[in-house]
DNA sequence: ACCGGTTATATACAAGCGTATACATCCGGT
DNA sequence: ACCGGATGTATACGCTTGTATATAACCGGT
């Protein structure tokens, strides 16, 4: 394995353990068993290396989501949603650093255009996938727009669930609670709607 | 105005303009028209000052949310939700740096326990408030638990909406789209439920 | 008027940072 | 065997960082 790959791997480790902004060039060198100069040689700068590593991490993040989504095969939509959210929560437990890095990426995107585009593009791809998860059966006749809207809705829930979980695991909702909340809101909508 | 207040104000400006991690002690001094040594004198360290400023900013953030929530007075829940989300989106436009700082706080919380507790506590207070927003009429007989679940659900949507808006304003959903998505999901739940 | 604390300021310092430079090593093609 | 580009490495440079120090200014109480 060349130093280029070692650096990327080391940077990923640092990303998970220390976070983007706290990682120094020397940290990466230590984690990858290489040397300072190789960063400049292979990536031009520390920043470029770290960004490349973050993009890699983010792809892994997408894989993790796909995995969670694939588990939901129940015919009942509510069951499917609940199992999806439960799966996410489980993933937070087993892949915490990955999700933390994902959240840090949100903040970094404000100052790193490359990363921002990566995230935006990633979410643009995620929305239809999430919509398909809902419309699994017989949702062929919905417009592209509504498909996007549903995807955005689920994406928002997912992001919000992630943030709450990582900030305060005690208080954050479980998948079951989220499903219960949705059920209750559905009921409340019907009660106040003029029918 | 003493230097203590000037420093806090300057730090807030830097927080909005440069973000937490990018702000240096000298940036704050420049923004507050003070001097390097006063940071140490009044706050002990740059970190302490910046955290204090972030907590201040976060309180402002809470005020902004309250403002948005107070606008929703429609009797129909769906209308209320839509106007709440629309209000949020409008706030992103007029108070962008504030929301960006809020997101950066998510990432920072991982390494700053003080901030993390502040955020956690803040959300613990936000959840019942959000639930009350939904249960506005006749929700007196729901348990504390479901109240929390509903609050978590709405909080998640809010956070997710924020992140999407700030990452990719083009693709992010509007309040109307979010409401439409919820309506569609409600319909889909009914279709697949065994009734 | 003067004293004593609080507060302000200029400056110095050591440590850590990212990166460039100059040199060594590897390794496939001939 | 040897050349040449690609890759690896040690080191040093200049800069920025946060903070400590030492001195000055302020200001209410007496």
Are A15 and B107 within 8 A, CB to CB?
A: no
Whether A76 is in a domain gets the answer yes
Residue B26 lies in a domain: no
Question: In a 10 Å sphere around its CB, with 0-12 CB exposed, 13-18 middle and 19+ buried, how is residue A136 labelled?
Answer: middle
- Give the nucleotide nearest to A43 (CA→C1'): C19
What letter would DSSP give residue A74? -
CA B57, B59, B62 angle in degrees (round to 5)?
115
| pLDDT tens by residue, A159-194 | 999 999 999 999 999 999 999 999 999 988 877 765
Residue B16, classed as helix, strand or coil, is helix
Residue A25 lies in a domain: no
Q: What residues in B contact A173, CB-CB < 8 Å? A: 148-149, 152-153, 156
Question: What CATH number corresponds to the domain at position B161?
Answer: 1.10.357.10
pLDDT at position B141: 76
Q: Which nucleotide is nearest to B50 (CA to C1')?
A: D18
Using the Cβ of B165 and the Cβ atoms of chain A, whether some distance falls under 8 Å is answered with no
Q: Do B149 and A193 touch (CB under 8 A)?
A: no
Per-residue pLDDT, B194: 55
Query: What pLDDT is stored for residue A138 in this prediction?
Result: 65
In terms of residue numbers, what domain contains B167? 51-194
Do B173 and A122 touch, CB atoms closer than 8 A?
A: no
Return the pLDDT at A189. 84
In a domain, B31, yes or no: no
B116 near A CB under 8 A: yes
Give domain status of residue B9, yes or no: no
Radius of gyration of chain A (CA): 20
Q: Give the SS3 label for residue B30.
A: helix
Number of separate domains in chain A: 1
* pLDDT at site A139: 66
Asked if the structure places residue A34 within a domain, the reply is no
Is B40 part of a structural domain of the chain?
A: no
Each of the 195 residues of chain B gets a pLDDT tens digit; together they read 899 999 999 999 999 999 999 999 999 999 999 999 999 999 999 999 999 999 999 888 889 988 988 887 888 999 999 999 999 999 999 999 999 999 999 999 999 898 899 899 999 999 999 999 888 766 677 888 889 999 999 999 999 999 999 999 999 999 999 999 999 999 888 877 655
Q: Which residues of A touch B103 (CB under 8 A)?
A: 106-107, 110
- Whether A140 is covered by a domain: the verdict is yes
Q: How far apart are the CA of B17 and the nearest CA of chain A, in angstroms?
A: 11
CB contacts of B134 in chain A (<8 Å) are 185, 188
Q: What is the structure's pLDDT at B72?
A: 79
pLDDT tens-digit profile of A34-47? 999 999 999 999 99
Closest chain A residue by Cα to residue B115: A167
**pLDDT of amino acid A135:** 86
Q: Tell me the Ramachandran region of residue B71: left when phi exceeds 0, alpha when psi lies from -120 to 50, beta otherwise.
A: alpha
Selecting from B119, B149, B159 the residue whose C-beta is nearest the C-beta of A160 gives B159
Overall average pLDDT of the A87-104 stretch: 94
Q: Hey, which residues 52-71 in chain B have their CB within 8 Å of chain A?
A: none
Residue A149 contacts B, CB cutoff 8 Å: yes
Q: What pLDDT does A73 receive? A: 84
B55: which 2 tokens?
């907590």
- CA dist B130 and B87 (Å) reads 14
| Helix extents (H) in A36-174 | 36-43, 46-70, 77-94, 96-109, 113-134, 144-167
Mean local confidence (pLDDT), A154-163: 97
Beta carbons of A156 and B155 less than 8 Å apart: no
Q: Which chain B residues touch A171 with a CB distance below 8 Å?
A: 120, 123-124, 127, 148, 152
């Amino acid at each position: 394995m060349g130093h280029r790959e070692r650096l990327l791997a080391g940077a990923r480790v640092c990303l998970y353990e220390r976070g983007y902004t706290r990682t120094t060039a020397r940290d990466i060198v230590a984690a990858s068993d290489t040397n300072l100069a190789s960063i400049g040689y292979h990536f031009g700068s520390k920043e470029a290396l770290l960004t490349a590593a973050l993009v890699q991490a983010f792809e892994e993040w997408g894989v993790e989501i796909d995995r969670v989504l694939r588990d939901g095969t129940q015919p009942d939509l509510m069951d499917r949603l609940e199992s999806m959210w439960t799966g996410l929560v489980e993933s937070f437990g087993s892949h915490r650093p990955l999700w933390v890095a994902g959240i840090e990426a949100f903040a970094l995107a404000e100052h790193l255009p490359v990363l921002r585009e990566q995230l935006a593009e990633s979410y643009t791809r995620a929305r239809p996938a999430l919509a398909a998860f809902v419309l699994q059966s017989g949702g062929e006749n919905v417009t592209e727009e509504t498909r996007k809207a549903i995807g955005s809705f689920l994406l928002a829930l997912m992001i919000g669930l992630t943030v709450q979980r990582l900030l305060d695991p005690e208080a954050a909702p479980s998948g079951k609670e989220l499903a219960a909340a949705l059920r209750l809101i559905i009921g409340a909508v019907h009660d106040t709607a003029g029918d």
